[in-house]
């Protein structure tokens, strides 16, 4: 009994108040704590953006140094957690591994699971931001059979992640600064995006006062789907399937066909009905990376550019306001950097962790916070007489 608003997919329901991220989907605007994403991506490093999201302000030089020291203090994982990886098959999808190991953190760090203690909450946030690159790189190393690399705290956040992923104990490792900066930018562009499916999942899980590590694991699970974070992997698989510029019209036709489940991956967004501002920055970064890597005539890029051009002119996409989203170009960059497609969504999860944990913290500190408990419109049988087993036909 009772009257509820029926809103499948939460297209018109605000689930919370939040002061972290603002999106104007019609204008293509994205602000974190009031700052435009373009300014942050151009002028900040990822840890400054983490400080902004988590603490509400960009750090001053002293705060920046302190924050970096705090995060790097937590970069290693418990040795027992390293052994946890060996329970997985080598060919496990790294997102499956990340769901498992992130959830398992609550079994290793008992001193940061009391969500009612603000100090423990902050330590949990620092641990998650610090350990995600380590755990993500370990998931990759495990899949290729190489030894895990311990974090190096003398490197920047992005450099250290690239080192743990691509470095080996046998040779001195050096990263091109343009690639490190591109990695950092990709992290910034994925840091938060208000109440998307994975963030809402984290909030809903957290609303029961579950521990933060379990909540982030639930966010990783929600992110994995191809309609959400899994789209970056799906874009590259789609570009591979299309194979050549000549075949684009065939796939555009399929995307418009109501009887065909195929969609143009990396196109469309629930909130943006304009060009996703992150996609523009991503496209520019893509050119920079390919240039540094000396990759000319990248076949996927050629297909992506032509696809974008055709789709942006096609009345179907124009009328439905379907524009490229953040995932459209990121896969091409990540592939050029040497990441296998299965790692793409892991990188998204790594970068989004700060958004998830900042939103989780905001929710826990909100005096209006209640357990999330959606209602439903029941469409089943209104009630009927029980039939004993021997009388059921």
Using CB under 6 A as the criterion, which residues of the chain lie in contact with ligand CMC when the complex forms?
9, 196, 227-229, 231, 255, 263-270, 320, 322, 325-327
Residue closest to 52 by CA, chosen among 170, 236, 191, 162: 191
Question: What pairs with residue 324 in β-bridges?
Answer: 267
Q: Which is nearer to ligand CMC, 127 or 269 (CB)?
A: 269
Between CA 286 and CA 282 the distance in angstroms is 6
Mapping DSSP to helix (H, G, I), strand (E, B) and coil, where does residue 205 land?
A: helix
Residue 266 is classified by DSSP as: T
Residue 280 is classified by DSSP as: H
Q: Which is nearer to ligand CMC, 73 or 262 (CB)?
A: 262
Report in angstroms how near the CB of residue 9 gets to ligand CMC at its nearest.
Answer: 6
Q: Which residues of 73-104 are buried (b: 16+ CB within 10 A; e: fewer)?
A: ebbebeeebbebbeebeeebbbbbbbbbbbbb
Beta-carbon contacts of residue 7 (< 8 Å; ≥ 6 apart): 13
- CA separation (Å) from 62 to 48, 51, 66? 12, 12, 6
Q: Which is nearer to ligand CMC, 213 or 272 (CB)?
A: 272
Report in angstroms how near the CB of residue 189 gets to ligand CMC at its nearest.
Answer: 10
Between CA 76 and CA 73 the distance in angstroms is 8
Report in angstroms how near the CB of residue 278 gets to ligand CMC at its nearest.
Answer: 9
Q: Which is nearer to ligand CMC, 122 or 237 (CB)?
A: 237
Report in angstroms how near the CB of residue 25 gets to ligand CMC at its nearest.
Answer: 10
Q: Which two tokens stand for residue 242?
A: 């299309």
Q: Which is nearer to ligand CMC, 175 or 234 (CB)?
A: 234
Q: Which is nearer to ligand CMC, 64 or 270 (CB)?
A: 270
Which residues are known catalytic residues?
A: 269, 327
Beta strands in 64-193 (DSSP E): none
Report in angstroms how near the CB of residue 350 gets to ligand CMC at its nearest.
Answer: 14
Report in angstroms how near the CB of residue 71 gets to ligand CMC at its nearest.
Answer: 25
| Residue, CB closest to ligand CMC | 268
Check: CB of residue 353 under 8 Å from CB of residue 129. Answer: yes
Report in angstroms how near the CB of residue 10 gets to ligand CMC at its nearest.
Answer: 10
Between CA 162 and CA 174 the distance in angstroms is 10
Residue 5: burial class (beta carbons within 10 Å; 0-12, 13-18, 19+):
exposed
| Phi and psi at residue 35, to the nearest 5° | -90, 135
Q: Which is nearer to ligand CMC, 194 or 288 (CB)?
A: 194
Beta-carbon contacts of residue 238 (< 8 Å; ≥ 6 apart): 251, 264, 265, 266
């Amino acid at each position: 009994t009772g009257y509820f608003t029926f809103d499948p997919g939460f297209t018109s329901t605000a689930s919370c108040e939040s002061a972290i991220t603002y999106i104007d989907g019609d204008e293509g605007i994205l602000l974190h704590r009031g700052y435009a994403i373009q300014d942050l991506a151009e002028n900040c490093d990822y840890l400054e953006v983490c400080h902004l999201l988590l603490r509400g302000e960009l750090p001053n030089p002293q705060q920046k140094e302190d924050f970096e020291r705090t995060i790097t203090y937590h970069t290693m994982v418990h040795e027992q957690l390293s052994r946890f990886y060996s329970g997985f098959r080598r060919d496990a999808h790294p997102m499956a591994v990340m769901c498992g190991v992130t959830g398992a953190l609550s079994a290793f760090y008992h001193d940061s699971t009391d969500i009612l203690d603000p100090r423990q909450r902050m330590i949990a946030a620092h641990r998650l931001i610090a350990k995600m690159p380590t755990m993500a790189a370990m998931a990759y190393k495990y899949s290729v059979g190489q030894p895990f690399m311990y974090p190096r705290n003398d490197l920047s956040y992005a450099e250290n992640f690239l080192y743990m992923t691509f470095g080996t104990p046998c040779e001195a490792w050096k990263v091109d600064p343009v690639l490190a900066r591109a990695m950092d930018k990709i992290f910034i562009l994925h840091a938060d995006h208000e109440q998307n499916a994975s963030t809402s999942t984290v909030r809903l899980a957290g609303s029961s006062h579950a521990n933060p590590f379990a909540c982030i694991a639930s966010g990783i699970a929600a992110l994995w789907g191809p309609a959400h974070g899994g789209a970056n992997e799906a874009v590259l698989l789609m570009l591979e399937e299309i194979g050549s510029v000549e075949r684009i019209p065939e796939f555009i036709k399929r995307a418009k066909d109501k009887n065909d489940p195929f969609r143009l991956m990396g196109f469309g967004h629930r909130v943006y009905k304009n060009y996703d501002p992150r996609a523009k920055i991503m496209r520019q970064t893509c050119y920079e990376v390919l240039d540094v890597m000396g990759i000319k005539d990248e076949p996927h890029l050629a297909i992506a550019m032509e696809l974008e051009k055709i789709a942006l002119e096609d009345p179907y996409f124009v009328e439905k306001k379907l524009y490229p989203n953040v995932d459209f170009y990121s896969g091409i960059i990540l592939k050029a950097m040497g990441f296998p497609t299965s790692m793409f969504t892991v990188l998204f999860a790594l970068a989004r962790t700060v958004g998830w944990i900042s939103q989780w913290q905001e929710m826990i500190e909100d005096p209006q916070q209640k357990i999330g408990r959606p209602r439903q419109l029941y469409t089943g049988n209104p009630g009927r007489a029980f039939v004993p087993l021997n009388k059921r036909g």
